[in-house]
């Protein structure tokens, strides 16, 4: 059975998984859940994915959730081409970069959190913009240093890893929020390099079947 990726074109967590599926050469079908209308919280989808979040990957009669867990599953079940380097320490360094995005940057800037800042806390748009900029800026500053230590064209070494699968969607998000990336030349260079790779290019939000050119 063809794997089914539940996602949304602008979900950066789903974008991570799209990149990895493409890098691994795994044919898949996409099902879109419109995050703007809360479609991902519908009971039918929650039976598959109790958190009511995207992405989820249906494979072999099971549904896997959480993008980092799905990336690790892809690496174990489809080891070629590898998205983690050899050696436990090197693998930890790559996973740390991926987690820096997935645990410390993205969770503070995704749609459900921005909605909560606006509606639950009544934060004005200017404060929300500063909030987004702060977490992306602090996170990217650390990643710029880490990529300087370990990168050679990509976040780690000279091949794409799960760190790039996480970074590229976060850079897309940063641009969407008009974050100045001038202080992060290495991250911008990794992004430019990845954009030349078909697996990354085909995963881009604007190229997804559910992309809405009119979305704000």
Give me the least distance between CB of 38 and a copy of itself, in Å please. 13
Report the C-alpha gap between 212 and 40 in whole angstroms: 17
Report the C-alpha gap between 131 and 91 in whole angstroms: 31
The yes or no reply on residue 1 touching a copy of itself (CB under 8 A) is: no
Give me the least distance between CB of 96 and a copy of itself, in Å please. 4
The yes or no reply on residue 32 touching a copy of itself (CB under 8 A) is: no
Binding mask 143-182 for a copy of itself (x = CB under 8 A): x-xx------------------------------------
For residue 55, report the phi and psi dihedrals to the nearest 5 degrees: -90, 165
The yes or no reply on residue 117 touching a copy of itself (CB under 8 A) is: yes
Report the C-alpha gap between 131 and 194 in whole angstroms: 28
The yes or no reply on residue 108 touching a copy of itself (CB under 8 A) is: yes
Residue burial 180-209, b: 16+ Cβ < 10 Å; e: rest? ebeebebbeebbebbeebebbeebbbeebe
Give me the least distance between CB of 159 and a copy of itself, in Å please. 18
Nearer to a copy of itself, 41 or 211 (CB): 41
Matching residue, tokens 């790779």: 197
Whether the CB-CB separation of 12 and 173 falls below 8 Å is answered with yes
The yes or no reply on residue 60 touching a copy of itself (CB under 8 A) is: yes
Alpha helices in 35-124 (DSSP H): 43-48, 67-77, 88-99, 111-119
- Judged by CB under 8 A, the number of residues near a copy of itself is 50
**Residue numbers of the site for a copy of itself (CB under 8 A)?**
50-53, 60, 62, 64-70, 72-73, 76-77, 88-89, 91-93, 95-96, 98-100, 102-104, 106-108, 113, 116-117, 120-121, 123, 127, 130-131, 134, 138-139, 141-143, 145-146
């Amino acid at each position: 059975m063809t794997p089914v990726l539940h996602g949304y074109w602008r979900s950066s967590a789903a974008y991570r998984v799209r990149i990895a599926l493409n890098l691994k050469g795994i044919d898949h079908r996409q099902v879109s859940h419109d995050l703007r209308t809360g479609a991902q919280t519908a009971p039918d989808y929650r039976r598959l994915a109790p958190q009511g979040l995207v992405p989820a990957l249906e494979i072999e009669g099971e549904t896997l959730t959480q993008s980092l867990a799905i990336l690790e599953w892809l690496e174990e079940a489809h080891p070629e081409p590898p998205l983690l380097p050899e050696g436990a320490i090197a693998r930890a360094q790559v996973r740390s970069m991926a987690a820096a995005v997935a645990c410390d940057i993205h969770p503070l800037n995704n749609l459900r959190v921005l909605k909560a800042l606006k509606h639950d806390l009544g934060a004005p748009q200017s404060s929300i913009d500063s909030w987004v900029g702060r977490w992306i800026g602090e996170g990217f500053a650390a990643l710029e240093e880490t990529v300087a230590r370990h990168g050679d064209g990509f976040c780690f070494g000279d091949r794409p890893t799960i760190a790039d699968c996480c970074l590229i969607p976060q850079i897309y998000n940063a641009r969407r929020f008009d974050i100045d990336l001038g202080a992060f030349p290495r991250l911008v260079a990794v992004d430019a390099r990845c954009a030349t790779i078909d697996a990354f290019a085909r995963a881009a939000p604007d190229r997804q079947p559910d992309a809405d050119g009119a979305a704000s």
